[in-house]
Amino acid sequence: MEDTAPLQRMLFDKMKGNFPPHLSLVDEVSYTLDISTDSAYRRIRGEKILDLGEIKKLCKKYRISMDTLFQVSDNQLMFSHVKVDDGHFKVKAYLEMLLERARTFHTTQDSEMIVIANDITIFQLLQFPELAAFKLFFWQKSSLGFDGFKDQQFSLEDIDETVLNLSKQIVREYNKISTIEIVGIDAVESFLRQIHYYLELGYFKKDSDALVILEKIEELVSHFRKEAEVGYKFNHGTENPSGARGNFTMYYNELFVIDGIVMVAVGGQKHTYIGTGPLNFIWTADEKFYDSKKIWAGKLMRSSILVSDFSEKERNIYFKKIEKRIHKFRAMLD
């Protein structure tokens, strides 16, 4: 019992960091293990030792890596894989999963998210339903090659109301999280190439939709610029935005090529997410892996250019580069 108790306490401590503070630990243990409240209390106090099956149930539900509990070798890591499969992928279910994670991310005041991306992240896209709809369609049809999209054309008229509502909820949660983003110059450029590609192949049901998407890209860039200027995130379309300065820190790096890394520290928990392709990612709760990646991210920040808050000159240079590319693309379409 003396050997097992620390592991059990560690598990319960990690669980508390993985669900909102208004939920009761004893209720969660009781419900997950299908035991009485009294039995749950006995396990939490260490009077009753969890068996391996119970540990597995709790780890699976609350996304806790068992290797961190059993102190597996530093050279061995346990990752979970969120994989999108043709025939099983549902946009609604995927967004519900993102919403659940976003809600978990801001449950405590000391939460922090570090995003390293060469592409526009799904959280950013969801502020503009037209952009999110196009990107989700592109990923399924062209990147993942789903059979059901083979003969489909993209249309803004197909945006689902349920998806719109979920998108708004995700953005609200995302904007509450203190975020550091390290971005490149190619994010918008790749989006423009995708629009051009779809126009050439006739994948737009109406060519006018391409112009609408281009306008929304311009709005997105303008929104980023304003967030970088004030130093915090806010919902697009807010007339008098407010927020806590420092909620949003943005760096620009011309050289890095690694894409799709998200690091989240919340409630004492440290999660690292790594993109493995459109909509797919692996993630781990291994703290040592997180700490090593955060050291690397810190070095990357020092070699990057800060464009948020008071860095007006650097911000203008960065966004003018992006705006110039958009204007050039618009002139080509015209």
For a pLDDT cut of 70, what percent of the chain falls above it?
91
**Do the beta carbons of residue 265 and residue 130 sit within 8 Å?**
no
In the 8-state DSSP scheme, what is residue 25? H
Comparing 134-143, 205-214, 278-287, the range with the smallest average pLDDT is 278-287
- pLDDT attached to residue 70: 65
- pTM assigned to the model: 0.77
Q: Assess whether pLDDT exceeds 70 at residue 258.
A: no
Q: How confident is the model at residue 20 (pLDDT cuts 50, 70, 90)?
A: low
- Nearest-angstrom CA–CA distance, 64 and 40: 19
Name the burial class of residue 327, with classes exposed (0-12), middle (13-18) and buried (19+) by CB atoms within 10 angstroms of its CB: exposed
Q: How confident is the model at residue 2 (pLDDT cuts 50, 70, 90)?
A: very low
Q: Which of residues 3 and 287 earns the better pLDDT score?
A: 287
Q: Assess whether pLDDT exceeds 60 at residue 176.
A: yes
Average pLDDT over residues 290-317: 92
Average pLDDT over residues 255-282: 83
Average pLDDT over residues 122-139: 91
- pLDDT attached to residue 76: 67
Q: How confident is the model at residue 1 (pLDDT cuts 50, 70, 90)?
A: very low
Q: How confident is the model at residue 259 (pLDDT cuts 50, 70, 90)?
A: low
3-state secondary structure 102-138: HHHHCCCCCCEEEEEECCCCHHHHCCCHHHHHHHHHH
Q: Assess whether pLDDT exceeds 90 at residue 294.
A: yes
In the 8-state DSSP scheme, what is residue 158? G
- Dihedral, CA of residue 139, residue 140, residue 143 and residue 145, to nearest 10: -170
Q: Assess whether pLDDT exceeds 80 at residue 251.
A: yes
Q: How confident is the model at residue 59 (pLDDT cuts 50, 70, 90)?
A: confident
Beta strands per DSSP E along the chain: 80-82, 112-117, 178-183, 248-252, 261-266, 269-277, 280-284, 305-306
Buried b vs exposed e over 212-242: b needs ≥16 C-beta within 10 Å?
ebbebbbbbbebbbebbbbbbbbebeeeebe
Q: Assess whether pLDDT exceeds 70 at residue 193.
A: yes
3-state secondary structure of 88: coil
- pLDDT attached to residue 101: 82
- pLDDT attached to residue 308: 93
Q: Which of residues 42 and 209 earns the better pLDDT score?
A: 209
